[in-house]
Structures are given as C-alpha cells and as structure tokens.
Amino acid sequence: MKLALMTYTQVETYLQSKDSVIIPIGSVEQHSPVGLMGTDHLIAEEIAYQVAENIKIIACPTLSYGMSNHHLAFPGTISINPTTLIAVLKDIITSLVGHGFKKFYFINGHGGNIATCEAAFSELTREQDIRCKIKSWWMDPTIHQYIKEFFGDRDGHHATPSEISQTIYFYKKAFDLPIRDFQIDRSKHHWPLSPEGFKRQFPDGRMESDPSLATYDLGKKVFEKSVEVIQKDFLDFEGL
C-alpha cells in the first residue's frame, strides 16, 4: 500500500487498526562506471513496496537523497548533510506521529545514512513514546550469507554486484553493461574520507567490489530473498 496512492480517508481507516509505517531511504550517488546513481534508493523502494503490498502496510514515498558527502567528487552525486537529514527525518516522523502512527520502520539502501538515522531516532524517542528502526538490507546476516554464496569477497562495500544485480533486475533497459575486468584494491584507509580522499583511494568509485559479476538472474534472487527476510524482520519489529 503506497501512501502516495491513498486518500486521507483510507489512511484514517488504516489507523483504526494499525500504527506502523514503512519508509524507504537511500541515496543519489555514484556507483562506479557500471551502476546507476539511484541504486541505493531504487533497491530500498522496491523492497519496501513489495513488503508493504504483501502484508498490507503503508509505505511512504522514498527518501531518495541521503548522506553521501564522501561521494561528492563524482558528477551527479547529491548529498544531504547529517544535520539537515536529522531535521528532515524528525519533521517526517513528527507529522506522522500527529496522525497516530507509532512505529517507523526504515528500509535503507545506503550505509552513510545509518549513523544519521540513529541520531534522529535518539532525539525523537527522547521526546515521544514511539518505536523507530533502520533496516539496511545488505547487513542482515541471512542476506549477507546469501550474497556471499554468489559473489564471495568480490561483493565489496560499494557498487557491489549484489546491489547492481538488483537494479538490472528492476531497470534492465538502463544498462549498457561493459564487459571488463575490475581489479580489487584492498589497501587500508582511514574513515570517514573527504570527497578528494575517497577519489584518491577509490579512483573509479568502487570499494573492493566487482560489478562485472552483476546479472539479472542474481538480482531477482537477491531481491526475493531480501523481501522474504525483511518482511519477517518487520513483523518481529511490529510485534514487539
């Protein structure tokens, strides 16, 4: 159930029996010469909408932008600073609290959002008796293990074949995949990196990943596994 496609009377009816909502969050940032700028928010959105449809829970419109400061040296990247993002998250949740929502489950596609979301949740739960969670799909142990079976240690940490595979599954027409070899650089670095530092360390935008392993079929598999696992995690969260 997409909030954007509901009327306020339908939301009113929903609130008579439920107080949970799912919010997809991602980023607009470079994903190597192969992956799409929207990779992180497109995946969060597809998982969120599928879970929401399966179990009749409202999913809000996607928060497409995220905290991507370290990717700003690559054209097209748009980043929201942590303090701005905290303010946006607080305004969204406070709006929904005013209508009677009490449980907020963020499905996340981007690692850079985690610390900021947690900080916003700490501020919000000091003020209001609500429940918030951020679930980063690729960090779930079951999904992580599943991905490892296909890509091993060439999944890496950014522009990963597991995420690029899913976007090929959703948006095949957007890809003109070059067949090329990617070298993996595992040299040590300090974190967080500045935009310049990131580009020095990871010149083509990948972080220890091999995007050439991405395929439509594996994308379908990883997506379906993610929906199954995250749906269960949501129900656990809702039932606490």
In the range 162-191, which residues lie near Ni ion by CB under 5 A? 163
Smaller CB separation from Ni ion, 40 or 140: 40
Smaller CB separation from Ni ion, 23 or 35: 35
Min dist CB 147 to Ni ion, Å, is 13
132/140 Cα distance (integer angstroms) = 17
Cβ contact 26:38 at 8 Å:
yes
Q: Which stretch binds Ni ion (CB under 5 A): 36-44, 57-65, 206-214, 223-231?
A: 36-44
Q: Does 45 bind Ni ion (CB under 5 A)?
A: no
Smaller CB separation from Ni ion, 1 or 114: 114
Min dist CB 159 to Ni ion, Å, is 7
SS (H, E, C) the chain: CEHHHCCHHHHHHHHCCCCEEEEEECCECCECCCECCCHHHHHHHHHHHHHHHHHCCEECCCECCECCHHHCCCCCCEECCHHHHHHHHHHHHHHHHHHCCCEEEEEECCHHHHHHHHHHHHHHHHHCCCEEEEEEHHHCHHHHHHHHHHHHHHCCCECCHHHHHHHHHHCHHHCCCCCCCCCCCCCCCCCCCCHHHHHHHCCCCCECCCHHHCCHHHHHHHHHHHHHHHHHHHHHHHHC
Q: Which stretch binds Ni ion (CB under 5 A): 40-48, 72-80, 98-106, 231-239?
A: 40-48
Smaller CB separation from Ni ion, 39 or 113: 39
Smaller CB separation from Ni ion, 120 or 156: 156
Smaller CB separation from Ni ion, 109 or 133: 109
Min dist CB 51 to Ni ion, Å, is 19
Cβ contact 37:26 at 8 Å:
no
Q: Does 155 bind Ni ion (CB under 5 A)?
A: no
Residue nearest Ni ion, Cβ-based: 40
Min dist CB 158 to Ni ion, Å, is 6
Smaller CB separation from Ni ion, 155 or 163: 163
Q: Which stretch binds Ni ion (CB under 5 A): 156-164, 167-175, 186-194, 201-209?
A: 156-164
Q: Does 40 bind Ni ion (CB under 5 A)?
A: yes
Strand order in the sheet with 103-108: 58-59, 20-25, 103-108, 131-136
* Number of residues located near Ni ion, criterion CB under 5 A: 3
Min dist CB 42 to Ni ion, Å, is 10
Q: Which residues bind Ni ion (CB under 5 A)?
A: 39-40, 163
